[in-house]
Amino acid sequence: MKRLIYLFIFILGLNLSGCKDYLDIVPDNVATIDNAFVDKYTAEQYLFTCYSYLPNEAHPAKNVAFTAGDEMMLQKDIDRSHIQGDLGGTMYGQDIQDGYQNASSTMFDFWNGEKYGSKLWRGIRSCNIFMERIDEVKDLEDYERDRWVAEAKFLKAYYHFYLLRMYGPIPIADENLPVSSSPDEVKVFREPFDDCVNYVSDLLDEAMVNLPEMIIDEGLENGRITQTIAASVKAKLWMMAASPLFNGNSNLTLIDSRGTQLFPQQYDAAKWQKAADACKVAIDMAHANGKELYYYSAIRQMNDSTAKKMNIRHSVCDRWNSELIWGATNDDSKTLQRIGIPTWFSKMTDRHKEMRGIHCPPLRIAEQFYSKNGVPIEEDVDYDYDNRYSLTTVGDDHRYYIEKGHSSPVLHLNREPRFYATLAFDGSTWYGNGFFDDKNPQVMECMKGDIMHRNRVFTGYVVKKMVHYENSYSDNNSSSIQFYPFPVIRLADLYLMYAEALNEVKDAPDLEVYNWINLVRARASIPTVELAWTNHSSKPDKYKSKDGMREIIHRERMIELTGEAKRYWDVRRWKKSEIYMNSEIKAWDYRGKTSEEYFQIRTLEKFRFTQKDYLWPLRESNLIKNTNLVQNPGW
């Protein structure tokens, strides 16, 4: 029987309610826990419970990075209960967008485990219990014991990392406090940020020693932790520590009652070297275990343009493909797909499909993709940028991307393949989902017409890349949604992190920096950085400077990883949230019934983001109960 480790497994009636006064690091229900280590089977079930605290990465409502940033919008001018029904949850991310985060009832509270927050301190406590008690199991081989302990160490490290990324400095729960601990003993302090980073890094190193290089029994163990996953998380840890938010950010200063400064006040260039080293180790491990950038192997005849799009789409959707390093094995990728899949309506022709507009990227996401020449459209000397919103008639040269003869803005023409692979919009073609002849493709219909108002694509775009091409969905509620493991980490992510770290380490970018970003660009079928900027950009020397290359790498990440819930954390660590989250969010006018009415720019809203919003607040009740904790700046 498959043991998908994201399932919440409750062992022998195990009650993990625990001490809620400070942190869940004091064990309770000791008599019940004793039963969890009587034999190999029950011990493995307890290990799976340690896994069960992993945050829900795939669910579009329960992953804060999907709904609280500027990459995806939720429609606000219709009945909110309809959206909550389709997404299967309350829209806390939308409340954060609107500036309603607070310290009294915190949203996505991973400190206490409320409002879509996992109980990460309880997860850490469970990992500590597992490591303390596993030696009691007598029918366990040494190699099994070593591996299971390594998995628990990884999970413990990852939960610390996740809290660190959200809250900044945190307490370090290296071991559980005794049940007999006094109230003062459980009033733990937050530790300096750099100490936390070093602790997590060392713990990941310890875990890597006994983790398997790769999963052999895929039927039983896909989703369990490998050396490459641990190395990749270490790379993400050091990328976070080296980036502007936490590396000498004078806006973050916090001194506790011990007189300890919790945030590093001085920039440390050595952190970028540690990040580069960690990225290289992770990449080398991935390569040694057969990981490579994904290219689609066509099982049906298709045009080269369609194949290029499938390279991008199925780097995400092809199950356990060669590029995937860590995939979330719960079923919530189906929810993510269901809100973006084209829907066949009997009132429409067999070649036109309506799109559902629940979870939509705004205009800025469409504009961030490159031109067909591989440079930003605002820099491309051959691109008609000033007239990008003007309507034009689509010619035969775009028939594999947009319906021939369709009235479409210039913005949708002459773009890189990732634009057409990632986004669907009015008039765009969509390969798969019941239509496998790319010479006679299905065409997306987004204008209001006489179809129900609530289904409108209210920004003008949906993320096609996240939808498996074999899905189907129709107005009679018949559907077939394919499962795929949501990509928590994939190889292109590592390549772009490594390019970023190398660029910061070097005095000026060189061939080594260009190589890693060019590998990703080659899969996207666009020219190398050097050729693209030299031949097509109004800033031909941009890639030759550290500052210019930094801007290129940042944009490359935002393009390549669109829709994968990575942008939210990237723009935070780059300290760019204050830019993106304080500018107007624009879209097409979904109320229009003609092209002229529909392709009009309208402003959706302007979010409210201040310096304090870079970090989560600690809940006020926690500060009252534990007076050694200090609140994050601004809260």
- At 34 the pLDDT is 81
Of 257, 196, 111, 252, nearest in space to 628 by CA: 257
Of 376, 354, 311, nearest in space to 473 by CA: 354
List pLDDT tens digits, range 293-330.
999 998 889 999 999 999 999 999 999 999 999 999 88
Residue type, 142: D
- At 148 the pLDDT is 98
- The stretch 320-342 carries a mean pLDDT of 86
CA atoms within 13 A on the CB side of 141: 3
End-to-end CA distance of the chain: 48
Strands 423-424 vs 407-409: parallel, antiparallel or unpaired: unpaired
- At 475 the pLDDT is 56
- At 2 the pLDDT is 37
- The stretch 214-237 carries a mean pLDDT of 92
Q: What's the whole-model pTM score?
A: 0.93
- At 233 the pLDDT is 98
User: What average pLDDT does the chain have?
Assistant: 89
- At 32 the pLDDT is 72
187, 627 contact by CB (below 8 A): yes
Two tokens at 91?
């829209």
Q: Is the pLDDT of residue 17 over 50?
A: no
Give the least confident one: 164-173, 203-212, 251-260, 598-607.
598-607
Burial of 30 from C-beta contacts in 10 A (0-12 / 13-18 / 19+): exposed
- The stretch 237-256 carries a mean pLDDT of 97
List pLDDT tens digits, range 385-431.
999 999 999 999 999 999 999 999 999 999 999 999 999 999 999 99
List pLDDT tens digits, range 533-583.
999 999 999 999 999 999 999 999 999 999 999 999 999 999 999 999 999
Of 598, 605, 565, 603, nearest in space to 412 by CA: 598
- At 298 the pLDDT is 83
Distance CA 210, CA 149 (A): 8
- At 5 the pLDDT is 34
Q: Is the pLDDT of residue 28 over 60?
A: no
- At 446 the pLDDT is 83
Q: Indicate the class that CATH gives domain 30-68+108-290.
A: mainly alpha
CA atoms within 13 A on the CB side of 459: 27
Q: Is the pLDDT of residue 466 over 90?
A: yes
- At 606 the pLDDT is 87
Distance CA 597, CA 590 (A): 9
List pLDDT tens digits, range 490-527.
999 999 999 999 999 999 999 999 999 999 999 999 99
Q: Is 413 helix (H, G, I), strand (E, B) or coil?
A: coil
Q: Is the pLDDT of residue 4 over 60?
A: no
Give the least confident one: 68-77, 146-155, 221-230.
68-77
Instruction: Give CA separation, 18 vs 6, 25, 29, 125, 531, in Å.
Output: 21, 8, 8, 10, 59
Element (DSSP H or E) covering residue 442: strand 442-445
Two tokens at 169?
């400095």
Q: Label each residue of 561-585 as H, E or C.
A: CCCCCCHHHHHHHCCCHHHHCCCEE
Of 564, 297, 309, nearest in space to 432 by CA: 309
Burial of 25 from C-beta contacts in 10 A (0-12 / 13-18 / 19+): buried
- At 220 the pLDDT is 81
- At 451 the pLDDT is 43
Distance CA 355, CA 344 (A): 9
Residues of the chain with CATH 1.25.40.390: 30-68+108-290
Tell me the Cα Rg of the chain: 25
List pLDDT tens digits, range 75-130.
765 555 555 555 656 789 989 998 999 999 999 999 999 999 999 999 999 999 99
> 10 Å Cβ neighbour count for 24?
25
- The stretch 277-287 carries a mean pLDDT of 98
Give the least confident one: 41-55, 237-251, 467-481, 522-536.
467-481
516, 279 contact by CB (below 8 A): no
